[in-house]
Structure 1
Amino acid sequence: MEEPEMQLKVKKVTDKFTESMYVLANEPSVALYRLQEHVRRSLPELAQHKSDMQSWEEQSQGAIYTVEYACSAIKNMTDSSVYFKSIDSLLKHAIAMKDQLNAAQGRR
């Protein structure tokens, strides 16, 4: 082979090798740059979603507390029905006694 032809082949090989090394050296930084771009674009939206979710969670917790409080009040009212029945029977008994007293006073 001739010298210029050999130099041309060596130059092609070294150019290809240099290009490959350049691509390999820069590939991670390009990937990180793309990743940074993606994060920069999507982060505000993700932060807004997080804020919305926290707000919905607070509202849900408030609603759950309200429902639990209402259920507790209803249960207490149901449990107190025994007392209301007792009061009802005592009132009926008191009315009957008052009627008897009035009837006794009317006979005198």
Structure 2
Amino acid sequence: MLDSDLDGDLSAVARGTAGDGWGLLVAGDNEALDSGLPGWHTQVRRNRCGALLAPRRWSDGDLLGQRVPAGLLGTDSGPGRAHAHLGDSRWVTLRVPATTAAEALTDD
């Protein structure tokens, strides 16, 4: 999605100027997200908050503006867990509910 026709829209969402109720979920490794190329993903890094699913190196948190504490490194967070940094210099372990594609597409 880098360098696509959606760059302007994704930048607006990342900056928080797309309106209430919009957010971005970005998945990738450090090399992909910290490529040094310009684009909307640079704004995502400036937000300094996010979640890591399985940090292996202390530098995995660099994109979130915070080094990963040694106690979280190499631990298998397992399905349903994420380590979040919300911009306040603290890490919080979150439980992420499991779902299936069918459940996500069901309109109630």
TM-score tier, shorter chain, comes to under 0.3
TM-score (norm 2): 0.17
**Higher relative contact order (CA closer than 8 Å, sequence separation 6+):** 2
Give the TM-score of the pair, scaled to structure 1. 0.17
Q: For the pair shown, which has the larger CA radius of gyration, 1 or 2? A: 1
Higher percent of residues as helix: 1
More strand by share: 2
